[in-house]
Chains A and B, each alone.
Chain A
Amino acid sequence: MSEDKAVLRAEGLGKTVDSPEGALTILDDVSLAIGAAETVAVLGASGAGKSTLLALLAGLDEPTRGSVWLDGRELTALDEDGRAALRAARVGFMFQSFHLLPSLTALENVMLPLELAATGDARARARAALEEVGLGRRTGHYPRQLSGGEKQRVAIARAFVTSPAVLFADEPTGNLDTRTGERVIETLFEMNRDRATTLVLVTHDEQLAARCGRRLELDAGRLVTDRSHA
């Protein structure tokens, strides 16, 4: 993978936090480059630093050392608002516990990133995205009126509605039963194929990891495996 084609690149990334027992390094010297439309699984034991890596790659947090480039821009050189603006335009998210805003309807939740990115036509595009994930008839429902799988599909619609360059997902199926989880995964990979969106998935699920084109393994904050499948 040549570095200039990478949509996401990290160099010497490290994170140290203060803890009651003194400084604690939770991510240590991670360098990697991920190309467009790649699918990447991040694996590792609990507490290995997977979520931390994801947060740094997405610019949700600032690293103690090293730099991150996203879609050609150096994330680590931007301030918080700059990173937020970049996320609004180029990044999608999915989380284990869905993270929908409880006071907004399904449609309004999907419209939110479009509105934050000041894109026109938010309502129509959000409606289309919900139809794509099979929730065209539930647009006016609030999160508490939806099942877990439905909530996660709203989250997918929200993640893809801005056509992001990269989609980050932290254990997207962790809270779902196997069949529902499979359908969610299916939808994710469809989006990857249709829109060439790069997928970065944190998971404990070996089966899901096996479907990804590349596998990163973390152990105690260090990148110990970086392997691409055929």
Chain B
Amino acid sequence: MTAVAHALRTLARDWRSGEIGVLAAALVVAVGALTAISFFTDRVGKGVSLQAAEVLAADLRLRSADEPDRALLDAATDRGLATARTVGFPSVVLRDDDSTLAAIRAVSEAYPLRGELRVADALLERGRPIDGVPPPGEAWADAGLLARLEADVGDSLEVGAITLRVTRVLEYRPDQAAGFAAMAPTLLMNIDDIPASELVVEGSRVTWSYLFAGDADDIDAFADWLEPRLGDGERLQDIGEAGQQITGAIDRAQRFLTLASLVTVLLAAVAVAMAARRHSVRHIDSVALMKCLGASQGFVLRVVLVQLVVIGVVAAAVGSALGWLAQLGIASVLANLVGADLPQPGGGPVLMGLVTALAVLAGFALPPMLQLRRVAPVRVLQRNLPPPRVGALVSGLCASAVVIGMLAWVVRDPLLLAVLTGGVAAVIVALALAGWALVRVTARLRGRSGVAWRYGLANIGRRGGESVAQVVAFGLGVMVLLLLTVVRNDLLDAWRASLPEDAPNNFIINIQPEEVDSVRALFERNDIAVPEFSPLIRGRVTALNGTSVRELDLDDPDARQFLDREANLSYTRTLPPSNRLTDGSWWSGESVAGGEAELSLERDFAAALGLSIGDRMRFSVAGESFSGRITSLREVAWDSFDPNFFVLIQPGEIEAYPTTWITSVYVPRETRGALLELVREHPSVSVIDLEALIAQVRDIMDRASLAVQFVFAFTLLAGIVVLLAAVQATRDERRYESALLRTFGARRSVVLNGVIAEFVTLGLLAGLLAAAGAVAVGQVLAVQIFGLDYLPDWRVLAGGPIVGALIVGLAGTLATRSVVTTPPVRTLRA
């Protein structure tokens, strides 16, 4: 009991000495970074499960590329279930000379079966729930669509072959892409208008859904009945499954962000170790005295443990509060990407914060503090005895164990964990070496500078270890921020600049075979370079090497998704220009009737499915079975914006299947009117504006990286805490030195200038390291991922050192000021 009392009593008063404050601040930053992310993802996750039923707008949903058998609806009605039909597809909507791509949703009377539609009577008015759907001849458009067409309620829009009057502003529909706002704006119309619109024809890229709702038992029974009757390409979704896909995506995002925030935790841990070391050095004499007065080793141990636990608990609480606040920021940045109303987060992240805080303490603070147990009581008489040595091996092992443990908890895959651990170690070693070299070089420069600078630079050189730690910690924080801001934009700009001037800027899909010639003629008429047209055949993969895909167990979620959906297949005689053969050989001639066609697969796609040359694939196309053998693998330059396909088929027999055509074309701004003409003449053809698409993708990336920057703001904070810890560690030394200097007649300003010189230089070095690191990473990304030449941006090279010098100079000087300005008498007398 007295150990606890003593621990609490001294802890409260040690607070003033500073190390405990730094230690706690480091933990707060670490916990804040981690909990911000888990609070946020917790909210999104909860939102998803709450919405799961809404996401389907039903309890059970049957999805298919072709309209399912209507008899299924009658069967459901007979079982007392409610039913509705919807069909969705992208299409161009026109108003006078304006046009835009919209997600069309045509729905039947009873839609939605779960959740409700919200509409407003005019733009900017408050939305209200509504029963029913737009009657034939009318449509409800969302505000985004109206804005793009500069339209308002009451205006008429051309949709395919018909004209619909907008009667309401659509604010919300339950199945709007599962909580994540769909990219294209939405138009809701009545399904009875679809035939007249001529938008849905054989081979169109549409998604039919039949919705069912009712008692859970009835739904289960119906689903069991329906399952064996499903045709090819028909898929049943229930509430659990709808949530699963999104939860998977959230889980991946959470792991990525958590991993990113471990950088912060690592830096914070360094500060914790520095503060703990100083704390224990300062307490050696006190502990010796306590032992002299009869304290046992156990007592000392209990005091240390109690103090660490108290610090951990308090820091976890404060850090969680900070994380909760930061999470609000992330949510507001991502408000448009994530469904509007997120539920409040649960308490789980707080527990995780506590575990993190205690783990960091155990790995980084405990080893030096435990040494206190071994302090010899005889120190009370022999002050010059060396302090007990902190076993470098023990503390290194403890720290590594905690770091690897935390990585393992996030990563979970042993191979990836090994790679990451190696990567983290390599980065730390590289940064430390670079930092060490910088510090050494700088220390040499001091002969050529004035008194203040010489004093400052001498300090950097003398406190080599701490200087390197500060340079690296701070450099890492600045580097990540540079990467996320300047380098990211540079790379995107460089990539866009690398695209040829006349790279295709529109995709044209859903061209019927009989329309190809007139589309071609239309391009010629308008002086548009006529592109290649590629055939597109919709089919499903049914078996790989004779094994049904239903029985296949695939790790890769993308591969799984590909197999579950209708795939885009194409055929060609020659290897398309944006493709390069990496393995096997290209076919010559045609496939023989009754035999197997040759197949060519995109390299990464084949790898994801675990396929290689010689493997067999079976497809179901328009209800018939079609099989082939892989004879080549290709690498595809997707950013050519040519139509490209994962699976290419040797021509011969495949041409006989229902085909639509697809192309991509460069349309100069002046001739954009040709596209309107195209859509008017061929209502079922869809035009996808690539520039708008790229702009949207960029907007999403901007927001996402802003959110990630929140995470790395914590990294910068952690860098500052490391700086404070280092200043703390040298406080007594600095106080004594400055007192001596001033006793010998140095003016206060000289001493202060020396301090400023020291920290500005440290900041410059950190910034230099950051800029170099950011440029190096940018270079690697440019070459490896974008295949670009990337010239380092002068803003990075100059910005890093300036930002570093400013922040470190300011923070360091502020933290040291009081030490330097204490009157020398007080220091020397104490």
Chain A contact residues, CB within 8 Å of chain B: 51-52, 54-55, 58, 60-61, 80-81, 84-89, 91, 93, 95, 99, 101-104, 108, 112-113, 115-118, 158, 170
Shortest distance between the CB of A156 and any CB in chain B (Å): 14
* Known contacts A99-B380, A104-B9, A104-B10, A93 near B292 by CB under 8 Å: yes
* Known contacts A84-B295, A85-B294, A89-B294, A116 near B2 by CB under 8 Å: yes
* Known contacts A116-B299, A118-B2, A170 near B294 by CB under 8 Å: no
Contacts of B294 in A (CB 8 A): 84-89, 91, 113, 116-117
Complex CA gap A60/B385 in Å reads 13
Check if B520 is an interface residue, CB within 8 A of chain A: no
Q: Which of B6, B285, B380 sits near A115, CB closer than 8 Å? A: B6
Q: Which residue of A lies closest to B14 (CB)?
A: A103
A113 touches B293 (CB 8 A): yes
Given contacts A88-B295, A104-B9, 4 further A-B contacts (CB under 8 A): A95-B380, A103-B13, A116-B290, A158-B293
A84 touches B377 (CB 8 A): yes
Shortest distance between the CB of B7 and any CB in chain A (Å): 11
Check if B376 is an interface residue, CB within 8 A of chain A: yes
Contacts of A102 in B (CB 8 A): 286
The 8 A CB mask of B1-29 against A (1 = contact, 0 = none) is 01001100110011000000000000000
Q: Which residue of B lies closest to A80 (CB)?
A: B297
Shortest distance between the CB of A154 and any CB in chain B (Å): 13
Q: Which residue of B lies closest to A113 (CB)?
A: B293
Closest 4 CB pairs of A and B: A88-B294, A103-B13, A61-B378, A81-B296
CB interface residues, B 363-415, toward A, < 8 Å:
376-378, 380-382
B290 touches A51 (CB 8 A): no
Complex CA gap A84/B300 in Å reads 12
Q: Which of B13, B286, B290, B381 sits near A170, CB closer than 8 Å? A: B381
Q: How many A-B residue pairs have CB under 8 A?
A: 81
B377 touches A85 (CB 8 A): no
Complex CA gap A188/B13 in Å reads 31
Q: Which residue of A lies closest to B296 (CB)?
A: A81
CB interface residues, B 1-60, toward A, < 8 Å:
2, 5-6, 9-10, 13-14
B296 touches A101 (CB 8 A): no
Check if B298 is an interface residue, CB within 8 A of chain A: yes
Contacts of A101 in B (CB 8 A): 10, 286, 289-290
Complex CA gap A91/B295 in Å reads 13
Check if B63 is an interface residue, CB within 8 A of chain A: no
Complex CA gap A51/B378 in Å reads 9
Complex CA gap A118/B6 in Å reads 13
Check if B616 is an interface residue, CB within 8 A of chain A: no
B293 touches A112 (CB 8 A): yes
A95 touches B381 (CB 8 A): yes
Shortest distance between the CB of B798 and any CB in chain A (Å): 48
Contacts of A108 in B (CB 8 A): 9
Q: Which residue of B lies closest to A102 (CB)?
A: B286
The 8 A CB mask of B267-303 against A (1 = contact, 0 = none) is 0000000000000000001100111111111110000
Complex CA gap A54/B292 in Å reads 12
B381 touches A60 (CB 8 A): yes
A60 touches B9 (CB 8 A): no
Shortest distance between the CB of A14 and any CB in chain B (Å): 16
Complex CA gap A85/B2 in Å reads 15
B293 touches A88 (CB 8 A): yes
Contacts of A54 in B (CB 8 A): 381
What would be 28 A-B contacts, judged by CB atoms less than 8 Å apart?
A51-B381, A51-B382, A55-B378, A60-B377, A61-B376, A80-B297, A81-B297, A84-B295, A85-B294, A85-B296, A86-B294, A87-B292, A87-B293, A88-B293, A88-B295, A89-B294, A91-B294, A93-B380, A95-B380, A95-B381, A101-B290, A102-B286, A103-B9, A103-B10, A108-B9, A112-B290, A116-B294, A116-B295
Complex CA gap A95/B382 in Å reads 11
Shortest distance between the CB of A97 and any CB in chain B (Å): 8
Complex CA gap A93/B10 in Å reads 22
CB interface residues, B 236-289, toward A, < 8 Å:
285-286, 289
Complex CA gap A104/B9 in Å reads 8
Shortest distance between the CB of B44 and any CB in chain A (Å): 46
B2 touches A84 (CB 8 A): no
Complex CA gap A117/B285 in Å reads 20
A84 touches B381 (CB 8 A): no
Complex CA gap A91/B380 in Å reads 15
Most chain-A Cβ atoms within 10 A of its Cβ — which of B9, B294, B299, B377?
B294
Shortest distance between the CB of B286 and any CB in chain A (Å): 5
Contacts of A61 in B (CB 8 A): 376-378
Contacts of A81 in B (CB 8 A): 296-298
Contacts of A60 in B (CB 8 A): 292, 376-378, 380-381
Contacts of B2 in A (CB 8 A): 115-116, 118
Complex CA gap A12/B421 in Å reads 58
Q: Which of B9, B10, B13, B293 sits near A116, CB closer than 8 Å? A: B293
Contacts of A88 in B (CB 8 A): 293-295
Complex CA gap A113/B13 in Å reads 19
Complex CA gap A166/B17 in Å reads 35
Shortest distance between the CB of A103 and any CB in chain B (Å): 4
Contacts of B378 in A (CB 8 A): 55, 60-61
Complex CA gap A215/B285 in Å reads 31
Contacts of A113 in B (CB 8 A): 293-294
Complex CA gap A113/B293 in Å reads 6
Contacts of A52 in B (CB 8 A): 381
A84 touches B380 (CB 8 A): no
Contacts of B381 in A (CB 8 A): 51-52, 54-55, 60, 95, 170
Shortest distance between the CB of B434 and any CB in chain A (Å): 38
Contacts of B297 in A (CB 8 A): 80-81, 84
Q: Which residue of A lies closest to B5 (CB)?
A: A115
Complex CA gap A85/B293 in Å reads 9
Contacts of B14 in A (CB 8 A): 103
Q: Which residue of A lies closest to B282 (CB)?
A: A102
Q: Which of B6, B10, B289 sits near A99, CB closer than 8 Å? A: B289
Contacts of A91 in B (CB 8 A): 294
Q: Which of A55, A58, A85, A86 sits near B382, CB closer than 8 Å? A: A55
Complex CA gap A224/B377 in Å reads 28
Q: Which residue of B lies closest to A93 (CB)?
A: B292
Complex CA gap A91/B294 in Å reads 9
Complex CA gap A88/B9 in Å reads 20
Complex CA gap A97/B381 in Å reads 10
Contacts of B291 in A (CB 8 A): 80, 84
Contacts of A51 in B (CB 8 A): 381-382
B296 touches A84 (CB 8 A): yes
Shortest distance between the CB of B589 and any CB in chain A (Å): 90
Shortest distance between the CB of A204 and any CB in chain B (Å): 15
The 8 A CB mask of B291-318 against A (1 = contact, 0 = none) is 1111111110000000000000000000
